[in-house]
Amino acid sequence: MTRLVDLAQVLRSKNAGALLCTLDMMFEDEATYRRVRDSGMITPQRIAGLYGVSDNEVAVIPYDVAYAIKVTIPRLLPSGDPGDTDVYGAQQHAPLLDIEIPD
Amino acid sequence: MSELRMMATTGMLGYGYTEEAFRRGMSLKPDFIAADGGSMDPGPYYLGEGVPFVSRQAIKRDLGLMLEAGIENDIPVLIGSAGGGGSDPQVALVREVAEEIAREKGLKFRMAVIHAEQPKEYLKKKRAEGLIRPLGPIAELTDENIDETHRVVGMMGVEPFQKALEDGAQVVIAGRATDASIYSAIPLMRGYDPGLVWHLAKIIECAGQVTTPRPGQDCVMGTLGDDYFLVEPGHPDKRCTRMRIAAHTLYENPSPYHLVEPDGTLVTTDSAYEQLDPRVVKVTGSRFEPSNSYTVKLEGVRKTGFRTVFIAGVRDPVLISVIDEFIASCHERVANEARLLGIPHDSYRLNIRVYGKDATMGPREPVRQTQAHEIGILVDTLADDEDTSKAIMAKARYSLLHTDFPGRKCISGNLAIPFSPSDMPVGMTYGFNVWHTMELDDPLEPFPIEMIEV
């Protein structure tokens, strides 16, 4: 098992508009990308569990040409609403770091 | 068709670019230069208040070089989403800066100013016709929502830019616009392939984001041919890499394959990316699928109250160990104190967050028990008037400072307060309440164009 943080070159989050948060995982080479993509660990079900949302609110889109996987989830609150914690959505990626990818 | 060249000077007017990259870019004889001036990233406040999130000085510096070079070389200069949110006061500010630059440098040109703010009556009419729909997880728009909005902008496509240029404008200061429309307007007028045009526009609108090494914003050049486009940095020491260009459609978009514009969708599933030389990337195969209807995005905000902010540190390990219960008891105490002041519970919001614990992710934080030896308490109050906002904060500060908790030994005060004054009123706040699309018959209708001889 290897943690995702040790396999990815980029692990980031950002708003995709005021209502959605998008999480990008990018990899240095094709082999690592395929290993993660095909691991069965990056699924709507797993992401939903990590972020406390329902499966059907999660989109997982592998993007072969850039060795990247994009995940989109709803924000807890619209950006900048009273009670929002992260207006840009730039620090919502941490739960991804510890995902264990089988060898 | 001969090649068409464009320069994106910066991803955000006011974020800056190097003069070196700009001069080299100009030496490549671009057909037009442009910059995006806006973003909703900084949240609803700037649209609500009608102010930029960069300084006036920075707008003037970035726009000054562009106007001077644009007029000297007789090419168009386009600015989209002027002033940050592209609302009327933000557009007016950029217009005023442009006129000031022209006066100081003795420049003369015809300038179009395109408005994007949407009157409530117009929105109600469109809503009644069933032409306004939610964009993502938000409720259907109602007349009540429209009434409570403070400011709404529509996001224009290429057509208002094109109309302004057809009417002889050399400089266009546009209100809220899709980032890619700024760069697509001219190439589409000249008949280039829409798939390649929109894809190139989408890549270079963030300018320096697609170059490496990355520090700072900088100019990027885009060149369109019949069946390809090229992207290269303006700066001679920077490079564009195939991966960086391919990855760019991931950025801030829900999908890297389908990017929606007012009159259709850019599809990148068959795009191919080729490293032409160490600095230049060539892209082919992008497609544009026209849609049956023309839709623009609406962004609107309502007032959410006057905010007062307070920050303090806690170093006491006993208090850190019972912080959740302690904060709950402070909430209760503030509610009682507020009642004594005649302030009803539903007329304010009190939010107490704990940095070092879960202030960044809130309920999504997987780590429930903090290991920190000190924590930061950030309190904010919201109320319809500033006095109430400050009154609640004063009670919250007092409660946090002097409320007992089990095992308390620090009976002179629970907080390290770094400032005097400690409570910071930050003025009115706003929240997004319109995030919808509006269908149009005429892409120009909600975007009136003003023509000015500068």
Residue B350 corresponds to which tokens in the numbers above?
């009190």
Q: Does A74 touch chain B (CB under 8 A)?
A: yes
Neighbours of B413 (CB within 10 A): 12
The reply to whether A28 falls in a domain is yes
Minimal-distance CA residue of chain B relative to A80: B43
The reply to whether A36 falls in a domain is yes
Provide the ipTM: 0.93
Task: Give the separation between CA A91 and CA B1, rounded to whole angstroms.
Answer: 46
The residue among B371, B326, B372, B370 whose CA lies nearest residue B352 is: B326
Q: Per the CB < 8 Å rule, is A22 touching B253?
A: yes
Task: Give the separation between CA B251 and CA B82, rounded to whole angstroms.
Answer: 21
Encode burial over B259-295: b for 16+ CB neighbours within 10 A, e otherwise: bbbbbbbbbbeebebeeeeebbbbbbbbbbeeeeebb
pLDDT digits 0-9 by tens, B31-73? 999 999 999 999 999 999 999 999 999 999 999 999 999 999 9
- The answer to whether residue B208 scores a pLDDT higher than 80 is no
| CATH number of the domain residue A52 falls in | 3.30.70
The reply to whether A88 falls in a domain is no
Helix (H, G, I), strand (E, B), or coil: what is residue B216?
coil
- Judge whether B101 and B208 are in contact, CB under 8 Å: no
Q: Does A83 touch chain B (CB under 8 A)?
A: yes
Could you tell me whether strands B4-8 and B32-38 are parallel, antiparallel, or unpaired per DSSP bridges? parallel
Q: Per the CB < 8 Å rule, is B435 touching A18?
A: yes
The set of residues, in sequence order, having a beta carbon less than 8 Å from that of B435 and lying 6+ positions away, is A17, A18, A19, A78, B134, B135, B136, B138, B297, B298, B299, B300
Q: Does A102 touch chain B (CB under 8 A)?
A: no
Q: What is the DSSP letter of B140?
A: P
Helix (H, G, I), strand (E, B), or coil: what is residue B14?
coil
Q: Per the CB < 8 Å rule, is B43 touching A65?
A: no
Minimal-distance CA residue of chain B relative to A16: B252
> Which contiguous run of DSSP H or E holds residue A19?
none
Our CA-based measurement puts residue B178 at a distance from the nearest CA of chain A, in whole angstroms, of 12
Task: Give the separation between CA B155 and CA B157, rounded to whole angstroms.
Answer: 7
Predicted confidence band of residue B253 (pLDDT cuts 50, 70, 90):
confident
Neighbours of A38 (CB within 10 A): 11
- The answer to whether residue B247 scores a pLDDT higher than 90 is no
Encode burial over B160-195: b for 16+ CB neighbours within 10 A, e otherwise: bbbbbbeeebbbbbbbbbbbbbbbbbbbbeeebbbb
The residue among B417, B450, B432 whose CA lies nearest residue B312 is: B417
Domain count, chain A: 1
Which residue, among B12, B155, B250, would best test binding to A if mutated, counting the most A CBs under 10 Å from its CB? B250
Residue located via tokens 């208090």: B319
- Of B138, B247, B299, which is closest to A68 when you measure between CB atoms? B247
Q: Which domain holds residue A50?
A: 2-75
The reply to whether A87 falls in a domain is no
The overall longest dimension of chain A from CA atoms, in Å, is: 44
Q: Is the dihedral of CA B131, B135, B140, B143 positive or negative?
A: negative
Counting every residue written for chain B, the total comes to 454
Task: Give the separation between CA B403 and CA B338, rounded to whole angstroms.
Answer: 16
- Of B136, B360, B366, which is closest to A19 when you measure between CB atoms? B136
> Which contiguous run of DSSP H or E holds residue A79?
none
Q: What are phi and psi of B167, to 5 degrees?
A: -85, 10
Instruction: Provide the pLDDT for residue B258.
Output: 93
Task: Give the separation between CA B438 and CA B447, rounded to whole angstroms.
Answer: 13
Q: What's the rounded mean pLDDT across residues B100-117?
A: 98
Q: Per the CB < 8 Å rule, is B364 touching A95?
A: yes
Q: Per the CB < 8 Å rule, is A80 touching B435?
A: no
Predicted confidence band of residue B17 (pLDDT cuts 50, 70, 90):
very high
Residue located via tokens 């030896």: B373
Share of chain B above pLDDT 70, in %: 100
Q: Per the CB < 8 Å rule, is A78 touching B135?
A: no
The reply to whether A82 falls in a domain is no
Query: What is the residue-averaged pLDDT of chain B?
Result: 96
The set of residues, in sequence order, having a beta carbon less than 8 Å from that of A87 and lying 6+ positions away, is A79, A80, B41, B42, B43
Strand partners, B432: B301
Q: What's the rounded mean pLDDT across residues A1-19?
A: 95
Could you tell me whether strands B110-114 and B171-174 are parallel, antiparallel, or unpaired per DSSP bridges? parallel
Query: Dihedral (C-alpha) A92, A73, B286, B180: value to the nearest 10 degrees?
Result: -70
Q: Does A59 touch chain B (CB under 8 A)?
A: yes
Query: Dihedral (C-alpha) B360, B365, B371, B377: value to the nearest 10 degrees?
Result: 40
Q: Per the CB < 8 Å rule, is B364 touching A92?
A: yes
Residues on chain B touching A67 (C-beta within 8 angstroms): 243
Neighbours of B342 (CB within 10 A): 7
Task: Give the separation between CA B34 and CA B155, rounded to whole angstroms.
Answer: 17
> Which contiguous run of DSSP H or E holds residue B78?
strand B77-84
The reply to whether A56 falls in a domain is yes
Residues on chain A touching B137 (C-beta within 8 angstroms): 19-20, 57, 74
- Of B138, B273, B360, which is closest to A86 when you measure between CB atoms? B360
Q: Does A92 touch chain B (CB under 8 A)?
A: yes
Q: Does A94 touch chain B (CB under 8 A)?
A: yes
Counting every residue written for chain A, the total comes to 103
Residues on chain A touching B136 (C-beta within 8 angstroms): 17, 19-20, 74
Neighbouring C-alpha atoms within 13 Å toward the C-beta of B258: 7
Q: Does B138 touch chain A (CB under 8 A)?
A: yes
Residue A18 corresponds to which tokens in the numbers above?
């005021």
Distances (CA, A) of B225 to B27, B222, B240: 19, 10, 18
Instruction: Provide the pLDDT for residue B215.
Output: 67
Predicted confidence band of residue B217 (pLDDT cuts 50, 70, 90):
confident
Quote the Cα angle for B54-B429-B121, to 5°: 95
Minimal-distance CA residue of chain A relative to B352: A83
Our CA-based measurement puts residue A98 at a distance from the nearest CA of chain B, in whole angstroms, of 11
pLDDT digits 0-9 by tens, B334-375? 999 999 999 999 999 999 999 999 999 999 999 988 899 999
- Judge whether B76 and B172 are in contact, CB under 8 Å: yes
Residues on chain B touching A66 (C-beta within 8 angstroms): 243, 246-247, 250, 256
pLDDT digits 0-9 by tens, A31-69? 999 999 999 999 999 999 999 999 999 999 999 999 999
Task: Give the separation between CA A51 and CA B225, rounded to whole angstroms.
Answer: 45
Taking the model in full, what pTM does it have?
0.94
Distance of CA A98 to the CA centre of its chain: 12
- The answer to whether residue B327 scores a pLDDT higher than 80 is yes
